[in-house]
Amino acid sequence: MSKQIAGKPESMSPVVTHYCPGCSHGVVHRLVAEVLDELGLREQTVGVASVGCSVLAYNYFETDFVQAPHGRAPAVATGVKRANPNACVFTYQGDGDMAAIGTSEVIHAAVRGEKITCIMYNNSIYGMTGGQMSPTTLMGAVTATTPYGRGPEAGMPYRMAEILATTPGAAYVARTHVADVGNIVKTKRAIKKAFELQMKGVGFTMVEVLGNCPTNWGLTPSESNKYVTGEMLPYFPLGELKDVTKEVPAGVHA
């Protein structure tokens, strides 16, 4: 007798992704898909794709999907969820999409406590457009638009999860990374909790996942994962920044 313990989740389409070799987008897609499988949500899920490397996410999830304009995924998700409160609705965005052009949409979705789950893949760069600086690019980092390294004139990288955790409507906000085996397991745990709380109607849920961009960082997949743990982690601390099931801060309706 043998029991399958790993493989393609039912919520993932049987195709090869367009992502570069070693890019962790595929890992995060798989974790979301496994969570949808385990919670039995696949057939009631509507995903919202963003603009950036993950624009084609709808090709990789075996669920209904709508593709949003750049940064607007949380607004589109709001429309879907309000129209169909029984649906499981999630956005899949990058740091450029959520932390730059979509700052307003995600903050207000959180403020309203929209019962959706936003996944932000933070690799501190615009991947699809060719490796430009994003709001989360580390100081000194060389990108296509910071050829001398990111200097103070371009501002400091900011921490989206921390900001969202301060909004009263947020039920669960966590930051994790997927650069090693143990943290991939922890990331899945966070994503699962986010979806569970969404479906319980507790409030807005968000998981910021730190990941690599081997191509635009000019590193091998293995080196790029070391950049995540060595360079990004000190600036973007991990943890559950907000979990209303654990404590109820003043002024928040759990």
Partner 1 sequence: MRAKLELQENHCKGCELCVQACPRDVLAMGSNINALGYRPASIVDPEKCTGCKACALVCPEVCFTIWQVA
Partner 2 sequence: MAHEMELTMVKGNEALGEAAIRAGCRFFFGYPITPQSELPAYMSRRMPEVNGTYLQAESEVAAVNMVLGAAAAGVRVMTSSSSPGYSLKQEGISYMIGSQLPAVVVNVMRGGPGLGNIQPAQGDYWQMVKGGGHGDYRMISLAPSTVQELVNLTVQAFELADKYQNPVGILADGLLGQTMEPVRFPEIKEDPGPHTKPWALTGCKGRGKRIHTSLELSPEGLEKHNIKLQAKFKVMEDEVQFEAYKCEDADLIVVAYGTAARVARAAVDAARQLGLNVGLFRPISLWPFPSAALSGLVDRGVTRFLDVEMSAGQMVEDVQLAVLGRAKVDFYGRTGGIVPTPREILNEIQKVMGGEAK
Which stretches of the chain bind partner 2, using CB under 8 A?
Answer: 13, 42-46, 48-49, 55-56, 58, 61-69, 72, 75-84, 87-88, 104-105, 107-108, 112
Per the CB < 8 A criterion, the answer to whether 228 and 121 are in contact is no
Nearer to partner 1, 76 or 207 (CB): 207
The answer to whether residues 104 and 68 touch, using CB atoms and an 8 Å cutoff, is: no
In DSSP notation, 155-189 reads -----HHHHHHTSTTEEEEEEEE-SSHHHHHHHHH
Among 2, 147, 153, 247, binds partner 1 (CB under 8 A): 2
Q: Do residues 64 and 86 touch, judged by C-beta distance below 8 A?
A: no
Contact pick of 10, 11, 25, 199 for partner 1 (by CB under 8 A): 25
How many chain residues bind partner 1 (CB under 8 A)? 31
Dihedral, 112, 126, 135, 154 alpha carbons, nearest 10: -150
**Adjacent-strand bridge partners of 91:** 48, 118
Query: Which part of the chain contacts partner 1 (CB under 8 A), choosing from 102-110, 179-187, 189-197, 240-248?
Result: 179-187
- Full DSSP string of 64-75: EEEEPPTT-HHH
Which residue is listed with tokens 């966590």? Answer: 174
- Closer residue to partner 2 (CB): 156 or 200: 200
- What b/e string do you get for 61-72 counting C-beta neighbours within 10 Å, with b at 16 or more? bbbebeebeebb
| 225: partner contacted, choices partner 1, partner 2, none (Cβ within 5-8 A by kind) | partner 1
C-beta of 12 vs 76, nearer to partner 1: 12
Choosing from 11, 23, 53, 122, the residue that interacts with partner 1 (CB under 8 A) is 23
Comparing CB distances to partner 1, the nearer of 68 and 232 is 232
Closer CB to partner 2, residue 72 or residue 159?
72
Burial class (CB in 10 A: 0-12, 13-18, 19+), 83: exposed
x-or-dash string of contact with partner 1, 197-226, rule CB under 8 A: -----------------x-----xxx--x-
**Residues lying near partner 1 in the complex (CB under 8 A):** 1-9, 12, 16-17, 19-27, 30, 180-181, 184-185, 214, 220-222, 225
